[in-house]
Structure 1
């Protein structure tokens, strides 16, 4: 049965229900003397069942400034001032009492009601953020910032109006504003004419949407001004602006904030920490430089493998830290956000995939990525990014053991096939066993690490080097670290080198459960790795048998013989003159590994530089004899005679 909503029925309830203005929730009805002894219950309709509006009104504040609510209509209400009568006028000007001693009334707001005037102002304020002149009600309030910012355009457009009605409405508004803004406009003109500004009038030169200029960390920057205001407590003028940035998927805006400290008198506009670009003495040159840099920055979206030298920005416990970086980096904002979520980059108001010059002008000079040497996610300055100069002879100069030289081509073929995904073979379980794993074993300094480095160099891909120290030795830490790395490295097409992997590959036993868990986790992760992995170990005889089925190529490096050492000496010396064949034979006879040979030559170069001479056989001999004199007594270390 449908319920009829009638005013008559509601009125009958009002006759039954009575209460005073206080919030009395009692359901007991009193008699005239306040006696509740009869205890007559009040009768209420079900909650929400009466189809009427029950109005409540705010009371006057009490002595503590607190208010409540009552059913009584306030007695001092006045009729609304804006009605059909006021709607006839082009402008409605609201005034309030003024107590500054100079005038009785001051403007509170101006309401624009004339359609002709709205159309005129739409042209004046074209592109001015936050104004929509097609609204039915358009209201401006002091200090009338849009008119101060566009006063010249307002006056110029006023002179061009030909329609009599529009001109009359514009003149009406002009007379009101000219009287209100006369002092501010006059002061602003005088200050700008002299290239200076006072702190209290800073707001007059900052127009929303305007390009502003600042130097941050020594780099010229351009921003789009959003808003500015004077801070009451500090007295500084705070500027909110935006720059163009890249979040790994799209271009957009990121906020930037500035503060202009309070100052007395006047300051040159161009000396402010941030100021409109139009006041820069070399505006066109600055624009050209920033647009060119923005175009270069735009080209670095996505993934790039580069060389970097300079200062970079990182974070530790929420604090910005600077690092001096010299080495190869991977520029990849998407990976930066994925694997470094605490410092992720976000943008708002997405832009088109291709920027125009106006947006390139506002582009940040920063790119984000990963420093391979330092193993840190960092922000890099674009001017420190360079193309990598590849060593095309790196793989050719790799010295492998006698009888295994053909393995160089096999290793390179495996790596290239995996890189180009030529090997389409997959395991029975999809995604399993798709990587290429190569084990390099042998004593230190015989070329294990150099093999991985040479493969990466000739393939022109990143080399990501890991050690047990980077991963930890507990199963949970290793699993968490390896999961990210095994996702990240194939994404970049990089070569992964796990140096000194013995701790993860040692044979399992029945007593060391923690070690068994570590090895088991490492085995499982290797099954699903899809990239190129080099494992180096000094203890190949002690690895778990389960690794044998997962390793595609295994190379065992013996100690270097005389021929291998001579080849290494020759390669390190390069075109250095002054070394005869007999001297090379003498140096090669000293039982050193490749790393030791490199260190000897480095020390000899320092000695030669100190003596301000070219590197000679005698310098090398001094270092080798010094090594021989400090050699352990239980070993034999020959010097050069």
Structure 2
């Protein structure tokens, strides 16, 4: 004998009539319009067969489906089927809606709610009794509106009256209990099915980021897990971007079993109307949804300074299920790039951060105003400071802040910062305005920048700690672009890894219009010769090819699809070029200028060599980090003290920054003002000897 899979568990209150007895007239009317039957399982035909309800199991040989038996039920408004499984046990109760007009009303009430079971075209719509109970208020409203019409539909009124009489008989007591508890803000586990109405707005903040989230109710049922523990599962939908599409997605929530009465607001999920601050939350989420809708339209650089999420596999399973992943908090600071599409390209398609997935038939081009409150509380992107993909709270995302005076912090020989700043300002101006209005400017041959106003490739060389990285950061600030940093460790040391990871990095900066910094690029710039291994020569060749490709793309302007032929590598690249110049800046840093391959030197648009720090330069760096302490009235440290520090301690920029930061922290902890003696004591205890080597800052 085959078994029937059980998906719905019916509460015992639906199996027996309540003590609420309707009037005699209504009782007779119900007998004529409501039929209660059993649907049992036939072991011979492997089908269900319907008989008059006797509260007993039946087995009978059925050769074919008896349409006449089905047809005899059409005269009823409702047919209540108690489904009995193959073991002869009651499994659930379903209601067949035989009235066409009543079915239309219920369809309107449960529009887009997974409660109606349409079945085959020759069958009536079916609904669970608990779901019909949720529509009680709407059915009463429909009856009242129909009665007010000048020409009411008497057949519909009759069907509505029959349905409401059934609900009063089987659910009257439950409704009174539910109304009494809800008036006090309480609920029991057994009455959870009556808490969530069709299309109701549900509220929760039980997410990892503890953000407000409103969802639209879809359906709910009670279940038991494998340990026989009861729980109530709610399906609700929200608007999200899963990395590929924008649209409605379905989420699941489990409400564990609880004894007695519980405040409704203590549930993990509850109706928004029960929240004491519902109006302010609606307004806040509408504004947030409008911002979310703007964020997911394309890559956009923003500012972030709080907790974000990244994901990792638990190390079990295949990574295809949600339980195979876990969300981890991390502190994301400074600039982030919000780009769900790029996130999907560079991450696992089963990653938990892209859940729930947008339903195929629920994709959207934009979010309507009345649906803004349902937008997801988080969005996918990338943190530049932590170099990590993650999910960011929409409410914590701010507009980026750019430091126009960043080059004032770059302490290098006089004239160099001004020259670099002028190059970047000219570059930004041409990026924003496009081609020069004067055709003669396009023919200028500038010795400093070839292809003026287009891609820039620069090299900064010098010992560690002289300001190379800080210069790249200042360049990004002046250009109003994020800085994407790649180190030799990120790219690897074998040919395959370098080619793949460098290609990924270049794809990212093309898409995001970043300033690319390849830090400590000595291994990729080293001169090729016969005394070096073939693999190292291959790495240099790959590095050169990729950089040449991306700089060529920077300098192309075309409409539609352009085929770029690079003859040196005998490769044809077909690339989609935007209808504007892509203004790119790539900066490489090295400590060994004398070992750079000649092929790189000929392709550089600019190169600068930084000398070791001298005393005046170190004094300037000390001023940068102790400016507030020096200018504070009654302070215990002055510029003369900084000159003394520069003479006594030959520190690098990083060491000066660390010493200043630690000294300020110690002074705050001790509740005393910063002094020269405290700074000296900090330097000594940190182990910074006068002859210490410089460290990059």
TM-score bucket (shorter structure): 0.7 to 0.9
Distance 1:90 1:491 in 2: 64
Q: Residue 81 of structure 1 aligns with which residue?
A: 68
Given the alignment, which residue of 212, 216, 219 partners 1:227?
219
Q: Residue 339 of structure 2 aligns with which residue?
A: 332
Q: Residue 518 of structure 1 aligns with which residue?
A: 539
- How far 1:96 sits from its partner (Å)? 6.4
Q: Which has the larger displacement, 330-339 or 298-307?
A: 298-307
CA deviation vs aligned residue, 1:10-61 (integer Å, no higher than 9, x gap): xxxxxxxxxxxxxxxxxxxxxxxxxxxxxxxxxxxxxxxxxxxxxxxx9948
- How far 1:123 sits from its partner (Å)? 6.3
CA deviation vs aligned residue, 1:346-399 (integer Å, no higher than 9, x gap): 422445544334322112211221111211101112333233433221113423
Correspondence list, 1:194-593, <5 A: 194-216=184-206, 217=208, 218-233=210-225, 234-247=229-242, 250-301=245-296, 302-317=298-313, 318-342=325-349, 343=351, 345=354, 346-348=357-359, 349-350=361-362, 352-402=364-414, 404=416, 407-413=419-425, 415-416=427-428, 419-420=431-432, 435-511=455-531, 512-529=533-550, 530=554, 531-575=584-628, 576-577=630-631, 582-590=640-648, 591-593=650-652
Change in CA separation of 1:220 and 1:487 when aligned onto 2, cut-off 3 Å: same
CA deviation vs aligned residue, 1:107-150 (integer Å, no higher than 9, x gap): 8644424x5545665666677665599x9867365742343112
SS at match of 1:298: helix
Q: Residue 132 of structure 2 aligns with which residue?
A: 147
Distance 2:599 2:112 in 1: 69
Correspondence list, 1:43-54, <5 A: none
Aligned length: 554
Change in CA separation of 1:473 and 1:183 when aligned onto 2, cut-off 3 Å: same
SS at match of 2:405: coil
Q: Which has the larger displacement, 386-395 or 527-536?
A: 386-395
TM-score, scaled relative to structure 2: 0.70
Matched, 1:598 2:657: yes
Contact 2:83 2:94 in 1 (8 A): no
Contact 1:415 1:455 in 2 (8 A): no
- How far 1:76 sits from its partner (Å)? 7.2
Q: Residue 36 of structure 1 aligns with which residue?
A: none
Q: Residue 40 of structure 1 aligns with which residue?
A: none
Change in CA separation of 1:508 and 1:250 when aligned onto 2, cut-off 3 Å: same
Change in CA separation of 1:152 and 1:628 when aligned onto 2, cut-off 3 Å: closer
- How far 1:538 sits from its partner (Å)? 0.6
SS at match of 1:378: strand
- How far 1:405 sits from its partner (Å)? 5.4
Distance 2:408 2:613 in 1: 18
Q: Residue 11 of structure 1 aligns with which residue?
A: none
Change in CA separation of 1:256 and 1:535 when aligned onto 2, cut-off 3 Å: same
Distance 1:409 1:258 in 2: 54
Contact 1:312 1:381 in 2 (8 A): yes
| Unpaired stretches in structure 1, ≥5 consecutive residues | 1-57, 63-73, 100-105, 426-430
Which one has more relative contact order, counting CA pairs under 8 Å at least 6 apart? Answer: 2
Change in CA separation of 1:139 and 1:278 when aligned onto 2, cut-off 3 Å: farther
Q: Which has the larger displacement, 545-554 or 399-408?
A: 399-408
Change in CA separation of 1:394 and 1:128 when aligned onto 2, cut-off 3 Å: closer
Change in CA separation of 1:533 and 1:165 when aligned onto 2, cut-off 3 Å: closer
- How far 1:527 sits from its partner (Å)? 0.6
Given the alignment, which residue of 608, 616, 638 partners 2:675?
616
Distance 1:524 1:324 in 2: 36
Distance 1:447 1:533 in 2: 17
Change in CA separation of 1:116 and 1:252 when aligned onto 2, cut-off 3 Å: closer
Contact 1:443 1:538 in 2 (8 A): yes
TM-score, scaled relative to structure 1: 0.76
SS at match of 1:380: strand
SS at match of 1:461: coil
Change in CA separation of 1:534 and 1:396 when aligned onto 2, cut-off 3 Å: same
Q: Residue 22 of structure 1 aligns with which residue?
A: none
Say which one has the larger Rg. Answer: 1
Distance 2:376 2:214 in 1: 8
CA deviation vs aligned residue, 1:485-539 (integer Å, no higher than 9, x gap): 1010132221111111111111122241121111111111111123211111110
CA deviation vs aligned residue, 1:248-300 (integer Å, no higher than 9, x gap): 57531222211111123332323222122233344333323322332333333
Distance 2:417 2:273 in 1: 67
Distance 2:688 2:329 in 1: 43
SS at match of 2:295: coil
SS at match of 1:453: helix
- How far 1:483 sits from its partner (Å)? 0.8
Distance 1:130 1:459 in 2: 55
- How far 1:319 sits from its partner (Å)? 2.5
| Superposition CA RMSD, Å | 3.9
SS at match of 2:237: strand
Contact 1:244 1:362 in 2 (8 A): yes
